[in-house]
Chain A
Amino acid sequence: MAVEIRLTCEKPREEFQFERPKHLVTPGDIITSDTGFMRGHGTYVEEENLVASVAGIVERVNKLVSVRPLKTRYNGEIGDVVVGRITEVQQRRWKVETNSRLDSVLLLSSVNLPGGELRRKTAEDELAMRKYLAEGDPISAEVQSVFSDGSLSLHTRSLKYGKLSQGTLVLVSPSLIKRRKTHFHNLPCGARIILGNNGYIWISPTVDEDVNESTGGFIQNLELVPLTDRETVARLRNCILALARHRLLLYDTTILYSYEASLRHQCKDIMKPEVMLEISQLVRQRLEIEGL
């Protein structure tokens, strides 16, 4: 197999014109010495001064001043779609890794039973928990509530959510996922994509909806996926990584555009730096033309 090796200095550099945003602060900067403001996230008070504690842009809502850092772990909000992985099975709950500060909780009482049966969860269900979801299983879920310490409580009380079967997980920064009405997309190129708000993206081959509904989201479909479908999934993965590399927001349109832009290259070539740059520029251009 031929392996391509190149020096770092040969990488193409993206020439980039940027201006300094106005309200940019770094840790220790005094935002204001006016005492009329309230202390928000990313700030602290010292000697009557409001001081920034992270590097980012100052945001003001009436009297509340906060600083939003550009790169952080995922801060969950109620209603967010997340993709995660089971790390632990505990008493009546699962622990889920969701790129959050603390592991999220999925209570046994907030999942649908296989088969969609509606009833109180019994002691037998508690014993069979590992049969439903074991350590290492990827799941999609929704944020039900946020605890006071910042950890999240999830639920899968809809047929959209539940265990994920065959597919690829892509990890990007949570700030790159655009908040939309829907985060589940059946792309016309023949793949289903779940854009978790936590920066975890699940790409899988398209499945029939009715099969999914009858199983209640717990049975994994382990049929062999044809090569063409696998290639589509792999191509989408590479495209998403290319977009994330050049910090384009991710949603169905950008992903589809990047997929179309990548078709002239072989799937394995997309990860080459110059191809990634080309794809991201094409997508950016197309978005500008359409005025999105």
Chain B
Amino acid sequence: MAGLELLSDQGFRLDGRRPHELRKIECRMGVFAQADGSAYIEQGNTKVLAAVYGPHEMRGSKSRGLHHKVLINCQYSMATFSTGERKRRPRGDRKSQEMTLHLKQTFEAAIMTQLYPRSQIDIFVEVLQADGGNYSTCVNAATLALVDAGIPLKDYVCACTTGFVNDTPMVDISFVEESLGGPQLTVAVLPKSEQIVLLEMASRLHVDYLNKVLKTAVKGCKDVYVILDEVVRNHVAQIASSVGSE
């Protein structure tokens, strides 16, 4: 593997983490005044902004509206300065379109869509700095933004990308670990019920290992959940106490 050892003999990764450790997660809710809900999240060096608008009247063509549930409209974009090499198009390329589709699928499963017929919810995520695990960071950011907007969710959606090196699953992989190849498993789960809402795998992995990797990934998602929940509770408590003291 090109001289780089992803997992040292002592069991440390390139950035000094153990295989089951997440990167440092920091987040803030309510970063925009204009949006109905918004959030900013940093997972290590991956930084993502999310904004949610709605539920609101259908914009654009009215015919797209669904009479029994809300339409979820997602947009994934990467800032031109987010990657090592400057990107030419922030959105609309193949990769972004695929990400957009995945986000839409994920949140259609988690949002209680039947409550708002004939309306629309917009979810915009923007990657400001890409350092691996872009999709999972975006899902976590969008979840926080949806909670901030007061949109009913079955549960949080937490996502985590897991790699597999030397028979060891490595949770929340960074860009270097991603780019050196090897199998990658991205999962988004509803942490309380452990239901999987999205599962994606890149490159090949022997089926005997799948269970092990999946278990580690779900564990990673649950760790993410603990952090997100703490942030939400603090945020809600702060707002509640300031509005309450008229």
* Contact flags B126-167 to A (C-beta < 8 A → 1, else 0): 000000000000000000000111111111100000000000
> A247's contact among B55, B147, B239, by CB below 8 Å, is which?
B239
| A53 is an interface residue with CB less than 8 A from chain B | yes
Q: Please tell me if the beta carbons of A56 and B246 are within 8 angstroms of each other in the complex.
A: no
- Known A-B contacts A21-B240, A27-B156, A54-B151; A101 and B116 likewise in contact (beta carbons under 8 Å): yes
CA distance A247 to B33 in the complex (A): 12
CA distance A101 to B121 in the complex (A): 10
Q: List, in ascending order, chain A residues with CB within 8 A of B149's CB.
A: 71-72
B45 to chain A, nearest CB (A): 19
| B237 is an interface residue with CB less than 8 A from chain A | yes
* Contact flags A78-105 to B (C-beta < 8 A → 1, else 0): 0000000001000000000100011100
Q: Please tell me if the beta carbons of B236 and A56 are within 8 angstroms of each other in the complex.
A: yes
Main secondary structure of the interface of B (DSSP, over half): mixed
Q: List, in ascending order, chain A residues with CB within 8 A of B36's CB.
A: 71-73
Chain A interfacial residues counted at CB < 8 A: 40
CA distance A141 to B246 in the complex (A): 27
CA distance A111 to B154 in the complex (A): 42
Who on chain A is nearest to B67 by CB? A149
Q: Please tell me if the beta carbons of B150 and A71 are within 8 angstroms of each other in the complex.
A: yes
Main secondary structure of the interface of A (DSSP, over half): loop
CA distance A226 to B56 in the complex (A): 38
> A54's contact among B153, B240, B245, by CB below 8 Å, is which?
B153
Who on chain B is nearest to A103 by CB? B57
Residue with the highest number of chain A CB atoms closer than 10 Å, among B119, B191, B236: B236
Q: List, in ascending order, chain B residues with CB within 8 A of A102's CB.
A: 56-57, 118-119
Q: Please tell me if the beta carbons of A70 and B236 are within 8 angstroms of each other in the complex.
A: yes
Q: List, in ascending order, chain B residues with CB within 8 A of A16's CB.
A: 238, 241-242
> A28's contact among B56, B154, B246, by CB below 8 Å, is which?
B154
